[in-house]
């Protein structure tokens, strides 16, 4: 067994300050590995082809040298920073590159920051494809420059900038995400199989691939690959620069890629696949937390989402060996899809809020006001990243950015009128409040007129004589315009009695 460090260890890496630091890799059994950083050493013995040494917690600092020695062999890493490390997980809205975002024209002018660094986890659906996939990403950590930043996650970039501005320490982002993926792609098979409700994700997969021959699967993959190649070729012929955002979006508006790829044994959409081929390759790298933007692919089972995401969080905390690993979630935005007035995405928003409320060391950013009616990938990623950063600063670091999310603390029904009282003042963006609804005993919601006065919202609906429930911002394409006094949209809610 060759003596190596895991790929995530490289020059320019950021190691987590203030927590014991795991350094790990492979090597022959029985051999001793010694790790040294800032004059401090830690040793361990290889077992079953793997080793892991744990350095004591160290404070934030500038360039350092990390050495890893086994006998006469030494691996050295230069320009190592100690600061804050976060993993950026999820699907396409987290993967969405900075160079494709609305703010890129300005971002590229401000992207020179040697203490903001990024690691691209190798994006592969199978171990057999790893060698090819490694060539598609930088070989290690990269510093933020106008030349490198365009490939960073746009949300993660603006999140990191927010942390840099407030904490004044190096910030590292581990980009581990893939568009179109369910949360079920990112946890183990054992976690799904052992849960009576969550095993439906494995059953869905089995049902989708059953009855198909290997030849049919290979033909489907070839057809999809050809369509994807044609899509990429059309994009490559666009000559408008991405820095001219409006013109570029106009130039590509009719260039749609094929979707979805055929499901199967080597498809990145299969349950548990990316957990093995991506996440496990960076565990147990020491992190402060995870930023997570995902949920769009899980509208098939929206009421299971809180259970699924909670199971994933528990799995990751075990794998990263951090029981209080922080999770900062992005609540789904507004999007019409095939049913603008449906509530699958509204249900997912409530499920995400439920995770925020029931899982320790979690927070959530509310972003439905930046949604785009017919675009599942809204292009304003700066607002998302900054709101996510504020939630992390307040809830993981104990800062006070004024980003508190309001809650309904009292509800009263009198005749046909419902009164809701919140723990903060609310205002309306526009002439009249939108997005509120009431239901009666039948559970069917009808649009409600809302009178907003400070911390109080009064609701009435012509279709509901005796209200039994109130909700806000629950449709897929919500036009809710109630704003907290701190400038954050009022979180979606559903109250019943």
Number of structural domains found in the chain? 2
Give the pLDDT band (50/70/90) at residue 463: confident
Percent of the chain with pLDDT over 90: 99
14 in any annotated domain: yes
Look at residue 62 and tell me whether its pLDDT is greater than 90. no
428 in any annotated domain: yes
Is there a contact between 409 and 393 (Cβ–Cβ < 8 Å)?
Answer: no
Instruction: Give the SS3 label for residue 134.
Output: helix
> What value does the mean pLDDT take over residues 211-229?
97
144 in any annotated domain: yes
The pLDDT of residue 345: 98
The CA-based diameter of the chain, rounded to the nearest angstrom, is 83
- If residue 395 lies in a helix (H) or strand (E), which one and from where to where? helix 381-396
Residue 338 shares a structural domain with residue 460:
no
Give the pLDDT band (50/70/90) at residue 448: very high
The pLDDT of residue 35: 98
284 preceded by a cis bond (ω within 30 of 0)? yes
> What value does the mean pLDDT take over residues 9-32?
98
Look at residue 314 and tell me whether its pLDDT is greater than 90. yes
218 in any annotated domain: no
Residue 342 shares a structural domain with residue 413:
no
Q: How many CB atoms lie within 10 A of CB 474?
A: 21
Instruction: Give residue-wise pLDDT tens across range 189-215.
Output: 999 999 999 999 999 999 999 999 999
**Domain interval for residue 447:** 408-496
Q: How many CB atoms lie within 10 A of CB 190?
A: 10
Residue 9 shares a structural domain with residue 145:
yes
CA distance 347 to 332: 10
Residue 331's closest CA among 305, 299, 293?
Answer: 293
Instruction: Give the SS3 label for residue 250.
Output: helix
Name the average pLDDT for the chain: 97
Residue 367 shares a structural domain with residue 491:
no
**Helix, strand and coil in the chain, % to nearest 5:** 30, 30, 40
> What value does the mean pLDDT take over residues 37-50?
98
Look at residue 98 and tell me whether its pLDDT is greater than 90. yes
Handedness of CA 377, 379, 382, 387 (dihedral sign): negative
Residue 415 shares a structural domain with residue 441:
yes
Instruction: Give residue-wise pLDDT tens across range 132-150.
Output: 999 999 999 999 999 999 9
Residue 365 shares a structural domain with residue 490:
no
Instruction: Give residue-wise pLDDT tens across range 250-289.
Output: 999 999 999 999 999 999 999 999 999 999 999 999 999 9
Of 369, 384, 403, the position where a domain reaches its end is 403
Strand 456-460 relative to strand 445-447, pairing = unpaired
Hey, what are 105's tokens? Answer: 């024209």
């Amino acid at each position: 067994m060759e003596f190596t460090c895991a790929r995530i260890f490289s020059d320019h890496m950021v190691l987590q300050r203030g927590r014991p630091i795991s350094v790990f890799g492979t090597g022959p059994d029985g051999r001793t590995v010694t790790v040294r950083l800032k004059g401090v050493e830690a040793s361990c013995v290889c077992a079953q082809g793997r080793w892991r040494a744990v350095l004591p917690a160290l404070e934030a600092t500038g360039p350092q040298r990390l050495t890893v020695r086994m006998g006469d062999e030494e691996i050295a890493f230069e320009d190592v920073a100690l600061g804050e490390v976060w993993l950026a997980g999820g699907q396409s809205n987290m993967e969405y590159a900075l160079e494709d975002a609305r703010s890129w024209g300005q971002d590229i002018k401000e992207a020179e920051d040697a203490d903001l660094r990024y690691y691209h986890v190798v994006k592969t659906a199978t171990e057999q494809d790893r060698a090819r996939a490694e060539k598609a990403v930088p070989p290690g950590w990269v510093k933020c420059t106008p030349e490198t930043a365009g490939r960073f996650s746009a949300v993660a970039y603006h999140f990191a900038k927010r942390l840099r501005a407030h904490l004044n320490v190096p910030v590292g982002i581990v980009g581990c995400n893939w568009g179109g993926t369910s949360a079920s792609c990112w946890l183990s098979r054992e976690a799904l199989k052992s849960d009576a409700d969550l095993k439906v994700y494995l059953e869905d997969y089995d049902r989708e691939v059953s009855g198909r021959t290997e030849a049919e699967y290979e033909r489907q993959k070839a057809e999809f690959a050809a369509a994807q190649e044609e899509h990429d070729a059309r994009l490559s012929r666009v000559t408008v620069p991405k820095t001219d955002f409006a013109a570029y979006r106009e130039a590509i508006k009719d260039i749609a890629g094929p979707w979805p790829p055929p499901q199967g044994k080597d498809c990145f959409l299969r349950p548990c696949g990316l957990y093995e081929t991506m996440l496990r390759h960076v565990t147990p790298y020491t992190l402060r937390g995870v930023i997570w933007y995902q949920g769009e692919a899980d509208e098939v089972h929206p009421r299971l989402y809180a259970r699924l995401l909670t199971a994933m969080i528990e799995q990751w905390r075990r794998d990263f060996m951090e029981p209080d690993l922080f999770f900062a979630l992005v609540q789904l935005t507004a999007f019409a899809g095939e049913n603008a007035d449906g509530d699958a995405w509204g249900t997912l928003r409530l499920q995400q809020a439920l995770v925020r409320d029931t899982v320790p060391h979690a927070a959530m950013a509310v972003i439905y006001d930046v949604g785009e009616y017919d675009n599942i990938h809204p292009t304003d990623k700066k607002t998302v990243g900054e709101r996510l950063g504020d939630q992390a600063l307040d809830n993981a670091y104990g800062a006070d950015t004024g980003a508190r999310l309001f809650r309904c603390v009292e509800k009263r029904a009198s005749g046909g009128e419902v009164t809701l009282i919140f723990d903060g003042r609310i205002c309306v963006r526009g002439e009249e409040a939108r997005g509120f609804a009431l239901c009666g005993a039948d559970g069917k919601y009808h649009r409600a007129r809302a009178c907003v006065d400070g911390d109080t919202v009064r609701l009435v609906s012509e279709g509901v004589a005796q209200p039994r429930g109130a909700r806000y911002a629950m449709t897929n394409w919500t036009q809710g315009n109630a704003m907290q006094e701190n400038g954050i949209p009022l979180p979606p809610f559903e109250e019943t009695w």
